[in-house]
Amino acid sequence: MTGQLIASTLRVSTPLIFAALGGMFSERSGVINIALEGMMLLGAFAAAVGTLLCHSPWLGSAFGIGAGCLLAAVYALFVIRLRANQIVAGMAINMLAMGLTPFLCKVLYDVTGSTPSIPIGERFQSAPLYLSWVLVGASFLWLKFTATGLWVSFAGEHPEALDAAGIRVNRVRWMAVLVSGALAGMGGASLSIFLSSSFSRDMTAGRGFMALAALIFGKWKPLPTALACLLFGFADAVQIRLQGVAVWGDHPIPVQFIQILPYLVTILVLAGFVGRSRPPKASGTSFQKG
């Protein structure tokens, strides 16, 4: 029972970890990424389509990553080049993904609800789980020990200093947002072709926002962020496990109360701990060379 719960926690945390790492690069560079949810959703859809097309989860996730990048490029265009309000444009990107996925699903498969189911042999068994933790380590090393990783942090903390050093701030932010889209796309892919057997409508169910919460809880650092994802993943795993289980007497807890558990945990965690964590200084502001 405990072993199963741990395994299930690790599995359902995977999409959150990819998305939260993605959000981390974007936010460390100074671009708030409310659009993670939409990038995940489009990534989940594209990965399912790609897998159905190529019969390989790896090629499928390449589709998901590509779709995440594409949406991230639209987002970057608006918030970096056109200086749109990051939260407003981010929400618009989410709505775009919410509308486009059923629309494209209808064009491709003639139904708006979900894609056809993917045979088990063509889905991921466990690869994304390992990959996500490898990326946690790689992100840590990259941000800490490489010049480009340092640029990302400076773009978010002291964009003027980075600019004075001759590095173009907005180019660094572009790269960070694209990486963010790629990771969110992979997060979406791990929802549709790793944790489930198809894409279904609005399947991200707020995970992009949970990833943001994990990121804040994890103080914008790779390992603490990943651990926060595990916490939310645990709430989700417990939720799945408790459905239909009688806890006191013969009465199972109504399923509605169990399903809201991860959302409740997210609010409580943010309320309890966020006071002590500080976002990158220039986060949310567009950079214009003076």
> How far apart are CB 288 and other proteins at their closest, in Å?
9
Minimum distance from CB of 58 to other proteins (Å)?
28
Looking at the Cβ atoms of 105 and 136, the one nearer to other proteins is 105
Q: Which is nearer to other proteins, 186 or 216 (CB)?
A: 216
- Rounded to a whole number of angstroms, the minimum distance from the CB of residue 85 to other proteins is 5
Nearer to other proteins, 100 or 175 (CB): 100
- Please say which residue, 58 or 103, places its beta carbon nearer to other proteins: 103
Least separation in angstroms between CB 267 and other proteins: 5
Q: How far is the CB of 213 from other proteins (least distance, A)?
A: 5
Residues lying near other proteins in the complex (CB under 8 A): 34, 74, 78, 81-85, 87-89, 91-96, 98-100, 102-103, 106-107, 112, 205-206, 209-210, 212-213, 216, 254, 256-257, 259-260, 263-264, 266-267, 270-272, 274-275
The residue (of 34 and 237) whose beta carbon lies closer to other proteins is: 34
Task: Count Cβ atoms below 10 Å from residue 16 Cβ, excluding itself.
Answer: 31
For other proteins, the closer of residues 61 and 225 by Cβ is: 225
CB of 279 to other proteins, least distance (A): 9
